[in-house]
């Protein structure tokens, strides 16, 4: 198992290397640079002043030099400074990452906690009212865009309850209940899609597993139906579900962006979007690479977990 994990871990390096080239190239292909965005043509800056800023920011160096500076910085942990605010990029990431991770974690936990039982219930009681409600709910969950849900939830609570989540972010280590109250709606908004996916996936795989011979055998041997359901059926049915959750959590982190903007939560997505508008290259590059790293590591974790749940995979 350890060798398998290590082998997979080694693949992370070339993946990230490829990502770094892609991110760097894409960012530089965007028309307009940070200095253009700073001035938006309106501050009456002389072209020479603009050029002086570009030089001071190192933007006049050849692109390969800039790329090596970026990758070198990442390798040595010297991530540089924001081109617009001058703040250290590491400090920006340290502030933004916990927010997005918490948001994604809450969304994933909520989605799993609700989606798996609903899927199981739906599978063991097919074509009942519960099943029908879960399936229709699942379809709605899949179809509703998260920004629509988020905006509607925000407006609905403000109009009917005269309440919206506190506007400035409250770290969980300072006031956990207030933090959870603040994060509940945003987490739900980005978790609804995953909840629906998990529910449908659990239902489909449970239905399939419940038809397997070994389930019939277990029941024929007189095993308690609860034990069959949870020990034999659910454990096997969960393998694809875990894969889906793993992949989706990565997407959640990316998909949290618009919800972060709506709720004014200064997480990774929000920071990245701001940086893109401002063409703040150093922040964009590090933030995008960090998101890529999280995504890759999550996939790795899923693969390892997969191996643990089904030892046959390791040999493959």
Q: Which stretch binds another protein (CB under 8 A): 67-75, 231-239, 267-275, 308-316?
A: 267-275
Q: Is there a contact between 133 and 212 (Cβ–Cβ < 8 Å)?
A: no
Residues that bind another protein (rule: CB under 8 A) add up to a total of 55
User: For another protein, which residue of 10, 75, 159, 316 counts as binding (CB under 8 A)?
Assistant: 159
Residue 144 binds another protein, judged by CB under 8 A: no
The residues that bridge with 81 in the sheet, in sequence order, are 88
Q: Which stretch binds another protein (CB under 8 A): 8-16, 82-90, 245-253, 285-293?
A: 82-90
Q: Which is nearer to another protein, 2 or 47 (CB)?
A: 47
Residue 163 binds another protein, judged by CB under 8 A: yes
Q: Which stretch binds another protein (CB under 8 A): 5-13, 107-115, 197-205, 271-279?
A: 271-279
Using CB under 8 A, which residues numbered 50 to 69 contact another protein? Answer: 50, 52-53, 56
Q: What is the 3-state secondary structure (H, E, C) of the chain?
A: CHHHHHHHHHHHHHHHHHHHHHHHHHHHHCCCCHHHHHHCCCCCCCHHHHHHHHHHCCCCCCHHHHHHHHHHHHHHCCCCECCCCCCEHHHHHHHHHHHHHHHHHHHHHHHHHHHHHHHHHHHHCCCCHHHHHHHHHHHHHHHCCHHHHHHHHHHHHHHHHCCCCCCCCCCCCCCHHHHHHHHHHHHHHHHHHHHHHHHHHHHHHHHHHHCCHHHHHHHHCCCCHHHHHHHHHHHHHHHHHHHHHHHHHHHHHHHHHHHHHHHCCCCHHHHHHHHHHHCCHHHHHHHHHHHHHHHHHHHHHHHHHHHHHCCHHHHC
Residue 43 binds another protein, judged by CB under 8 A: yes
Residue 274 binds another protein, judged by CB under 8 A: yes
Residue 32 binds another protein, judged by CB under 8 A: yes
Residue 173 binds another protein, judged by CB under 8 A: no
User: For another protein, which residue of 75, 277, 315, 316 counts as binding (CB under 8 A)?
Assistant: 277
Q: Which stretch binds another protein (CB under 8 A): 227-235, 274-282, 289-297, 302-310?
A: 274-282
- Among residues 219, 213, 298, the alpha carbon closest in space to that of 252 is found at 298
User: For another protein, which residue of 16, 19, 67, 151 counts as binding (CB under 8 A)?
Assistant: 151
Sorted by sequence, the CB contacts under 8 Å of residue 175 that are 6+ apart come out as none
User: For another protein, which residue of 8, 28, 69, 95 counts as binding (CB under 8 A)?
Assistant: 95
CB of 273 to another protein, least distance (A): 9
Residue 289 has which token pair?
């690479």
Alpha-carbon span 97 to 269, nearest angstrom: 9
CB of 66 to another protein, least distance (A): 18
CB of 270 to another protein, least distance (A): 6
CB of 24 to another protein, least distance (A): 17
Q: Which is nearer to another protein, 138 or 186 (CB)?
A: 186
Residues at the site binding another protein, with contacts judged by CB under 8 A: 30-33, 36-47, 49-50, 52-53, 56, 83-87, 92, 95-96, 151, 154-155, 157-159, 161-169, 261-264, 266, 270-271, 274, 277-279
């Amino acid at each position: 198992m350890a060798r398998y994990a290590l082998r997979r871990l080694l693949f992370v390096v070339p993946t990230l290397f490829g990502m770094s080239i892609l991110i760097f190239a894409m960012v530089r292909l965007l028309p307009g640079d940070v200095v253009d965005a700073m001035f938006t043509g309106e501050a009456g800056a002389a072209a020479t002043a603009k050029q002086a800023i570009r030089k001071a920011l190192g933007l006049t160096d050849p692109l390969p030099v800039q790329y090596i500076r970026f990758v070198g910085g990442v390798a040595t942990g010297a991530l540089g400074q924001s081109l617009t605010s001058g703040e250290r990029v590491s400090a920006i990431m340290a502030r933004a990452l916990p927010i997005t991770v918490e948001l994604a974690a809450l969304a994933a936990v909520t989605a799993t906690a609700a989606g798996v039982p609903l899927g199981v219930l739906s599978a063991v009681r097919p074509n009942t009212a519960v099943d029908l409600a879960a399936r229709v709910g699942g379809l709605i969950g899949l179809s509703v865009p998260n920004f629509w849900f988020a905006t509607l939830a925000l407006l609905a609570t403000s109009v009917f309850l005269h309440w919206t989540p506190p506007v400035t972010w409250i770290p969980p280590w300072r006031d956990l209940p207030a933090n959870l109250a603040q994060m509940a709606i945003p987490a739900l908004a980005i978790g609804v899609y995953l909840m629906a996916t998990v529910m449908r996936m659990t239902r489909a795989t449970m239905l399939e597993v419940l038809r397997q011979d070994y389930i019939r055998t277990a029941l024929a041997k007189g095993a308690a139906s609860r034990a069959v359901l949870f020990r034999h059926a659910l454990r096997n049915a969960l393998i694809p579900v875990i894969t889906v959750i793993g992949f989706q959590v990565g997407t959640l982190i990316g998909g949290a962006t618009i919800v972060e903007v709506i709720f004014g939560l200064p997480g990774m997505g929000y920071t990245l979007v701001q940086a893109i508008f401002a063409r703040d290259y150093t922040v964009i590059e590090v933030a995008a690479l960090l998101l890529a790293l999280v995504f890759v590591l999550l996939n790795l974790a899923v693969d390892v977990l997969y191996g643990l749940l089904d030892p046959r995979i390791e040999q493959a």
